[in-house]
């Protein structure tokens, strides 16, 4: 079940413009212009974000894009007060959730391991929750960078009532909202001063 490398012996590297767009210069936006984000852009972001890996190809992330006036009215009261004005100004807000029943797709997404669906089914939602959240969180990292790859600014927010957002937009107990992210084009004074990163010595070690 192996195939010949699809790549040249030497893998491509990301150039400085790409590094700036995704990592070194990109910033979290706190205001947005009125310029819309199109359906085509949102689908193209997902086209890109779907590819990096998840454990056993589980892909548990689910995304609801809130754009309508009605959707926004349901969401805003469930956010921390400090996040409401900027969210009201964003053309689209993505609700990023883990699907605790991700295993239902396993016969298609991971055919190399027959019985995986049944094994995970026996664990129940509580037993699958860590795997769902961990892999959905990896996918959120991919999605944030995929949005930046499309020339959009992201505004991830942890300040919201997770139980209430889950109940309002993903009722039934199958999902758990992990993060709320504004997407759009940066408006006036969109950026706070950059906060310091840890020293490499506080993060990296060698064994």
Contact positions with a copy of itself (CB under 8 A) in 9-28 = 9-15, 17-28
Options 103, 117, 128, 148; binder of a copy of itself; rule CB under 8 A: 148
Instruction: Give Cα 204 distance to the centre of its chain.
Output: 25
Here's the x/- map for a copy of itself, 110-129, by CB under 8 A: it reads as xxx-----------------
Options 34, 82, 151, 172; binder of a copy of itself; rule CB under 8 A: 151
Candidate ranges 79-87, 108-116, 120-128; the one touching a copy of itself (CB under 8 A): 108-116
Here's the x/- map for a copy of itself, 23-52, by CB under 8 A: it reads as xxxxxx-x--------x--xx--xxxxxxx
3 binds a copy of itself (CB under 8 A): yes
d(C-alpha 86, C-alpha 181), whole Å: 11
Options 120, 146, 165, 183; binder of a copy of itself; rule CB under 8 A: 146
> Footprint of a copy of itself on residues 126-145 (CB under 8 A)?
133-134, 137-142, 144-145
Cβ(78)–Cβ(161) under 8 Å?
yes
Cβ(155)–Cβ(29) under 8 Å?
yes
CA angle, corner 62, sides to 56 and 64, nearest 5?
A: 170
Residue with tokens 């026996």: 122
Burial class, 50, CB count within 10 angstroms (exposed 0-12 / middle 13-18 / buried 19+): middle
Options 32, 65, 78, 79; binder of a copy of itself; rule CB under 8 A: 65
Candidate ranges 77-85, 117-125, 150-158; the one touching a copy of itself (CB under 8 A): 150-158
d(C-alpha 150, C-alpha 81), whole Å: 29
Q: Write the DSSP string, 26-56.
A: --B-S-B-S----HHHHHHHHHHHTSS--GG
């Amino acid at each position: 079940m192996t195939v010949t490398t699809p790549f040249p012996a030497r893998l491509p590297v990301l150039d400085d413009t790409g590094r700036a767009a995704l990592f070194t210069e990109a910033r979290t936006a706190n205001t947005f212009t009125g310029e819309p984000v199109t359906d085509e852009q949102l689908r193209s972001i997902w086209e890109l974000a779907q590819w990096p890996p998840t454990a056993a190809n589980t892909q548990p992330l689910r995304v609801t894009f809130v754009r309508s006036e009605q959707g926004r009215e349901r969401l805003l009261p469930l956010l921390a007060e400090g996040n409401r004005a900027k969210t009201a100004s964003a053309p689209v807000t993505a609700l990023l959730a883990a699907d605790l029943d991700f295993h239902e797709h396993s016969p298609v997404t991971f055919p190399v391991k027959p019985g995986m669906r049944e094994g995970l089914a026996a664990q129940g939602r509580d037993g699958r929750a860590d795997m769902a959240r961990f892999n959905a969180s990896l996918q959120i990292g991919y999605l944030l960078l995929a949005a930046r790859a499309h020339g959009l600014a992201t505004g991830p927010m942890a300040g919201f009532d997770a139980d209430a957002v889950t109940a309002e937009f993903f009722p039934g107990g199958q999902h758990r909202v992990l993060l709320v992210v504004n997407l759009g084009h940066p408006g006036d004074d969109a950026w706070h001063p950059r906060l310091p990163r840890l020293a490499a010595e506080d993060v990296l070690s060698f064994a």
